[in-house]
A = this chain, B = another copy of it.
Amino acid sequence: MPSSQPQPVAPSVRRQSAPHVAIAGATGAVGEEFLRVLAQRHFPIGKLTLLASARSAGKTLAFNGDDYTCEELTEDSFKDVDLALFSAGGSISKKFGPVAVDAGAVVVDNSSAFRMTDGVPLVVPEVNPEAITDANIGLGSDNVAGIIANPNCSTIIMLMAVTPLHRAVAVKRMVVSTYQAASGAGAAAMRELEQQTREALSEPGAVGEVKTQAIFPFQYAFNLFSHNSPMQPNGYNQEELKMVHETHKIWAQNENEKTAITATCIRVPVMRAHAESINLTFAHPLPEDEARRLLEQAPGVSLIDDRANNRFPMPLDATHRDDCYVGRIRRDLSQPGETGLDLFVCGDQVRKGAALNAVQIAELLLR
């Protein structure tokens, strides 16, 4: 059972054997995945509070066989809450994250609101669990202490594949091109892709007129387009720059050692798993076989790298799975000796890219 008293500081999460968990944005694609992941991993929950917008308040969601009614997210929602999982967009996190912390909760935030804020740990549990310390969570109400940020989905999936190699031999440069699923833009985007595809198939050859266009500015069915995040003056979109800057923070790189990264982020008509083509330049040689061995041993990583059968990771392999799948591991012929490698990785955007990673962060807090 959860404490009936508000806890003044966040380490309470660790003192609670069964904390009071709140989910902000419970009816979204990631919100519903939070429930699935918490149940599957038998996360100890003393009390569960589901929070949503006024529009979605009153909806019921099932968890471990019981129905829970969503309440409207307000400033009073976090009384007694020990752990708040946020996935309701950046503006909601900015507004209510500090409120939850003030009420004594630790916030694990899936939005980009606090990722690059000094003092807020940005964590992939397999990569940098050490970023979570007593010093940066649970110290009360200075706005950010008490918040732990979940990285961008594309960043998480990339770093699951690259970090095991980077630990062995420093990665000096990365060139990454993504193949991103609809789910990154939420459940409505997945429905839009589905509906558009039905419309396109209304004529043979999939050339039917696509009328449903609410989420994305372009036809998505049988098409692809540059990621729809805001474009920056340097010609990179925000998604791409997140992959650059979040990597530097997660790897705790100082100015002199920052890995040079360029990213091109593209949405492809796939439902919920991202893929990434990654080209690496190492500071010293890293033989292909050694890279394969390192990835075989990496937690949260599975290899699909079967050249004989031309069988490599696909989004459908990763869909609804916890692991990130890595393959096409090969020496880069365009770089001298064994200083370059190419990889291809797939990971479930909703799961490891969002809900699972956040719950894994929460598990670190329980220890």
Residues of A within 8 A of B (CB): 173-175, 177, 179, 190, 193-194, 197-198, 201, 204-206, 217-219, 222-226, 228, 230-231, 233-237, 244, 260-262, 264, 266, 268-271, 275, 277, 279, 288, 307-308, 310, 312, 314-316, 327-335, 340, 342, 344
Q: Are A234 and B331 in contact (CB under 8 A)?
A: yes
| A224 cross-chain contacts in B, Cβ below 8 A | 179, 268, 270, 275, 314-315
- Expressed in whole angstroms, the Cα–Cα distance for A228 and B230 within the complex equals 35
| Cβ–Cβ < 8 Å partners of A270 in chain B | 222-224, 269
The answer to whether residues A194 and B198 also contact, given A237-B310, A335-B260 and a CB cut-off of 8 A, is no
Provide a sorted-by-A list of 19 A–B residue pairs whose CB atoms are within 8 angstroms.
A174-B334, A193-B206, A194-B204, A198-B201, A219-B316, A222-B270, A222-B316, A226-B312, A226-B344, A230-B310, A234-B330, A234-B333, A235-B328, A262-B332, A262-B342, A264-B328, A264-B344, A268-B268, A269-B269
* CB-based nearest B residue for A228: B310
Q: How far is the CA of A217 from the CA of B306 in the complex (A)?
A: 14
Partner of A261, one of B206, B217, B223, B334: B334
Q: Which residues of B contact A327 (CB under 8 A)?
A: 226
Contacts of A342 in B (CB 8 A): 235, 262, 264
B194 lies within 8 A of A206 (CB): yes
A271 CA / B205 CA spacing, docked (Å):
8
A235 engages B329 (CB within 8 Å): yes
- Are A333 and B236 closer than 8 Å at their CB atoms? yes
Q: When the two chains form their complex, are residues A175 and B244 in contact, meaning their CB atoms are under 8 A apart?
A: no
- C-alpha gap A329/B204 in the complex (Å): 35
